[in-house]
A and B are shown apart, each in its own frame.
Chain A
Amino acid sequence: MRENHTRFGIHGGQYIPETLMNAVIELEEAYEKYKADPAFNRELATLFNEYAGRPSRLYYAAKMTEDLGGAKIYLKREDLNHTGAHKINNVLGQALLAKKMGKTRLIAETGAGQHGVATATAAALMGMECVVFMGEEDTIRQALNVYRMRLLGAKVIPVKSGTATLKDAVSEAMREWTSRIEDTHYCLGSVMGPHPFPTIVRDFQAVISKEIKEQILAKEGHLPDAVIACVGGGSNAIGSFYHFIEDKDVRLIGCEAAGRGVETKETAATIATGKLGIFHGMKSYFCQDEFGQIAPVYSISAGLDYPGIGPEHAYLHDIGRAEYVAVTDEEAVCAFEYLAKTEGIIPAIESAHAISHAMRLAPTLDKDRILVITVSGRGDKDCAAIARYRGEDLHE
């Protein structure tokens, strides 16, 4: 298959209905124009710093380091951003871009609700209308985030089709976009979908690795040995990896959701169990059956409960630049509890997948090694679900 500017190796492309083609072409042209525009970048930097609270801290987790007895552990605190996750980085960028394009309405999909909350927030800030599609199953798992979005003025539409989770929310948002394009921007929440979304979202999230690099050089004087992040579609991971891709000595490790285990059907680990396919506008790896039907994936984490992975991750996997490992529900829940007790930080259950792998890796490394783990979001939203997982009858 041809390689071109819409692809990462063989992955990516624009597998979407003709109805949307001019919309993505218009988006690409606008993005090319504004990404080189100093005024746009100043405006975005101000939003990042003054509104979202950037730069986020790179925190040396001394107790965790000591407890694990190996590599030094730094946590990139995206959980401290306004709205409590990395999602705000991308949303502020896309909302500003949409506004410049003359759009007055944002639509978005959401899994855990973090991207929906971030989109609703940006829409409120910029005076735009907002509609969020969320799998019905997820509106139950993440009821508090549904309320948050409504409080911020957004309309939340529960999606009942298919498995009623993130993939169905994406499908429904794409359907909505084909029916209303003129005034509407589809604010996609991850590094997935048709070109130019994987590139746009990656560029807005790349601020994470840009900051990590500056911060770790200031604190340690050299680059880390590994950067670890959780991967659903993969936006916080690509953001954490991007400025290290050329630094070949830095290991890049993405942590997928294994759910109840990669040997079971109840998993969302795409690299471990998926194969090459075409879905949601892109060529990449997808969990699917032998006839190409998309698998009903599962993870305790609504944000990682997606049957695909962004095309740039698929490419980094192909060329061996990044490694992808699978972390089960049980391991993630243990890491969720561990970080709370050890460092007084409650991570999102998504981010806990990355914490878990760091807990495996750190003790195997010498004390002069450095691991950076991105805590992509905070875990308040997950407390009730984790309590239930542990058998406590706690409801929001």
Chain B
Amino acid sequence: MSRIRQAFENHKAFIPFITVGDPDVATTEQVVREAVRNGADLIELGIPFSDPTAEGPVIQGGNERALRGGITTELVFELVESLRRDIDVPFVFMTYCNVVFSYGSARFMERCQKTGVDGLILPDLPFEEKDEFAKDCDKYGVDLISLIAPTSGERIAMIAKEAKGFIYLVSSLGVTGVRSRITTDLKSIVAVIRENTDIPVAIGFGISTPEQAKEMASLSDGAIVGSAIVKLLEKYGQDAPEAVGDYVAKMKAAVMDH
């Protein structure tokens, strides 16, 4: 069983998103360790991009801080290598096409395999363009994660049938960021996904409170939280690991309690 599959086995998953290098790599390393220690089931690691078009202001800010701090793709791989020595939870990269394309698709996936990255999320890579990277992902055993959106409609079946790892279900229209309410009919989208695949479904975008996480986990197999964590990084900087750990513990308890 793959590490990703394992993360969803027998319980709902809580998935924190962390921008690597915000504000520096040493802090990220501590944040990841705290998140894992407090029950994170899978870690989404953001490789910063200069122009993250799917992100709201909070994660844009995280990307900017990290790039100002000198983060590079090379340093991100070095961090994963170091974390992988003693951490077993799956790591999934979240970045933009140009970061991978520029590094070289095959070279990037090979490094993922060697350092222990299990999956890759590219929000600017829809189903129609996945051949750009899918062959290299398959060759090096990296799951190319598919996103499904509230607007996907009749595309859901097509996407779900070929999905790998887990499905990232986008909760709402728009970009990433905290929302007070999520109004999409996620239940019927999940139902269509279930008809077409047996891989897990996790919901992300707009989730920040334990109540929301609990509700989203009850509709699917897990909840993904990004902006709320990046906000803690923005607020506490190098002192963020403890705050993130406490937050993860609270959110994990909420999803387990569905």
Q: Is residue B53 within 8 Å, beta carbon to beta carbon, of the partner chain?
A: yes
Closest chain-A Cβ to B140's Cβ sits at a distance in Å of 19
Q: Is residue A288 within 8 Å, beta carbon to beta carbon, of the partner chain?
A: yes
In the complex, the chain A residue whose C-beta lies closest to that of B47 is: A291
Scan residues 144-166 of chain B and give those whose CB is less than 8 A from a CB of chain A: 146-153, 155, 159
**Contact B102 A21, beta carbon cutoff 8 Å:** no
In the complex, the chain B residue whose C-beta lies closest to that of A180 is: B173
Closest chain-B Cβ to A170's Cβ sits at a distance in Å of 8
New A-B contacts (16) at CB < 8 Å, excluding given A18-B151, A178-B173, A279-B51: A15-B132, A16-B126, A17-B123, A19-B173, A21-B149, A21-B152, A171-B51, A174-B53, A178-B174, A178-B175, A181-B173, A278-B97, A280-B53, A290-B102, A291-B102, A292-B100
Complex contacts, A175 vs chain B, CB 8 Å:
53-54, 56, 174-175
Q: List 16 A-B contacts (CB under 8 A).
A: A13-B129, A21-B126, A21-B127, A21-B151, A21-B155, A167-B51, A168-B51, A175-B56, A178-B175, A180-B173, A181-B173, A276-B101, A288-B102, A291-B99, A292-B101, A293-B99
Complex contacts, B170 vs chain A, CB 8 Å:
18-19
**Contact B98 A277, beta carbon cutoff 8 Å:** yes
Complex contacts, B83 vs chain A, CB 8 Å:
none
Known: A171-B51, A180-B173, A291-B72. A15 touches B97 (CB 8 A): yes
Q: Is residue B86 within 8 Å, beta carbon to beta carbon, of the partner chain?
A: no
Closest chain-B Cβ to A168's Cβ sits at a distance in Å of 7
Q: Is residue B103 within 8 Å, beta carbon to beta carbon, of the partner chain?
A: yes
Complex contacts, A41 vs chain B, CB 8 Å:
none
Q: Is residue B67 within 8 Å, beta carbon to beta carbon, of the partner chain?
A: yes
In the complex, the chain B residue whose C-beta lies closest to that of A286 is: B98
Known: A179-B174, A294-B51. A19 touches B151 (CB 8 A): yes
**Contact B124 A16, beta carbon cutoff 8 Å:** yes
Complex contacts, A281 vs chain B, CB 8 Å:
124
Interface of A is mostly: mixed
Cα distance A171–B170 in the bound complex, in angstroms: 19
Q: Is residue B131 within 8 Å, beta carbon to beta carbon, of the partner chain?
A: yes
Q: How many residues of B contact A (CB 8 A)?
A: 43
Scan residues 112-167 of chain A and give those whose CB is less than 8 A from a CB of chain B: 161-162, 167
**Contact B127 A293, beta carbon cutoff 8 Å:** no
Complex contacts, A15 vs chain B, CB 8 Å:
97, 124-126, 129, 132
Complex contacts, B155 vs chain A, CB 8 Å:
18, 21-22
Cα distance A161–B56 in the bound complex, in angstroms: 11
Q: Is residue A23 within 8 Å, beta carbon to beta carbon, of the partner chain?
A: yes
Closest chain-B Cβ to A12's Cβ sits at a distance in Å of 10
Q: Is residue B50 within 8 Å, beta carbon to beta carbon, of the partner chain?
A: yes
Cα distance A112–B241 in the bound complex, in angstroms: 44
**Contact A23 B151, beta carbon cutoff 8 Å:** yes
In the complex, the chain B residue whose C-beta lies closest to that of A168 is: B51
Q: Is residue B185 within 8 Å, beta carbon to beta carbon, of the partner chain?
A: no
Q: Is residue B195 within 8 Å, beta carbon to beta carbon, of the partner chain?
A: no
**Contact B60 A14, beta carbon cutoff 8 Å:** no
Q: Is residue A1 within 8 Å, beta carbon to beta carbon, of the partner chain?
A: yes
Q: Is residue A360 within 8 Å, beta carbon to beta carbon, of the partner chain?
A: no
Q: Is residue B73 within 8 Å, beta carbon to beta carbon, of the partner chain?
A: yes
Cα distance A205–B54 in the bound complex, in angstroms: 29
Q: Is residue A248 within 8 Å, beta carbon to beta carbon, of the partner chain?
A: no
**Contact B98 A17, beta carbon cutoff 8 Å:** no
Q: Is residue A2 within 8 Å, beta carbon to beta carbon, of the partner chain?
A: yes
Closest chain-A Cβ to B55's Cβ sits at a distance in Å of 8
**Contact B128 A21, beta carbon cutoff 8 Å:** yes
In the complex, the chain A residue whose C-beta lies closest to that of B172 is: A179
Q: Is residue B91 within 8 Å, beta carbon to beta carbon, of the partner chain?
A: no
Q: Mark B48-85, 1 if CB is under 8 A from A, else 0.
A: 01110110110010000001000011100000000000
**Contact B151 A293, beta carbon cutoff 8 Å:** no
Scan residues 54-73 of chain A and give those whose CB is less than 8 A from a CB of chain B: none
Known: A1-B132, A288-B98. A171 touches B53 (CB 8 A): yes
Cα distance A309–B121 in the bound complex, in angstroms: 26
Among B102, B125, B127, B152, point to the contact of A277 (Cβ < 8 A).
Answer: B102
3 closest A-B pairs by beta carbon, nearest first, are A292-B102, A179-B174, A19-B149
Among B50, B54, B56, B159, point to the contact of A293 (Cβ < 8 A).
Answer: B50
Known: A161-B60, A277-B101. A18 touches B152 (CB 8 A): yes
Closest chain-B Cβ to A107's Cβ sits at a distance in Å of 13
Closest chain-B Cβ to A309's Cβ sits at a distance in Å of 15
Among B99, B124, B148, B175, point to the contact of A179 (Cβ < 8 A).
Answer: B175
Known: A2-B131, A175-B175, A291-B103. A18 touches B147 (CB 8 A): yes
Complex contacts, B49 vs chain A, CB 8 Å:
292-293
Cα distance A288–B103 in the bound complex, in angstroms: 12
Cα distance A175–B54 in the bound complex, in angstroms: 6
**Contact B151 A22, beta carbon cutoff 8 Å:** yes
Q: Mark B231-257, 1 if CB is under 8 A from A, else 0.
A: 000000000000000000000000000
Complex contacts, A18 vs chain B, CB 8 Å:
126-127, 146-149, 151-152, 155, 159, 170
Closest chain-A Cβ to B197's Cβ sits at a distance in Å of 16
Cα distance A181–B153 in the bound complex, in angstroms: 14
Complex contacts, B128 vs chain A, CB 8 Å:
6, 13-14, 21
Closest chain-B Cβ to A159's Cβ sits at a distance in Å of 11
